């Protein structure tokens, strides 16, 4: 049983790592760098977020 858990851990690690890499690629190619790095220190959500869709 422990060896099966051992292999399952490797499998889960690889799958989730691949998913994060895929999502990273998707986000970086979808949004501009200006949008992704637009966060500014000290801004309150109530001020910065206007919930425009």
Contact residues toward other proteins (CB under 8 A) are 2-3, 6-7, 9-10, 12-13, 16-17, 19-21, 23-24, 27, 30-33, 35-45, 48-53
Closest approach, Cβ 51 to other proteins, in A, equals 6
Closest alpha carbon to 39 in 29, 49, 27 = 49
Closest approach, Cβ 12 to other proteins, in A, equals 6
Closest approach, Cβ 26 to other proteins, in A, equals 9
Q: Alpha helices of 31-53 — where are they, by DSSP H?
A: 33-36, 45-48
d(CA 12, CA 10) in angstroms, rounded, equals: 6
């Amino acid at each position: 049983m422990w060896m099966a858990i051992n292999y399952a851990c490797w499998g889960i690690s690889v799958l989730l790592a691949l998913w994060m890499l895929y999502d990273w690629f998707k986000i970086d190619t979808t949004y501009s760098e200006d949008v992704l790095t637009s966060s500014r220190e000290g801004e309150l959500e109530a001020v910065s977020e206007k919930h425009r869709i």
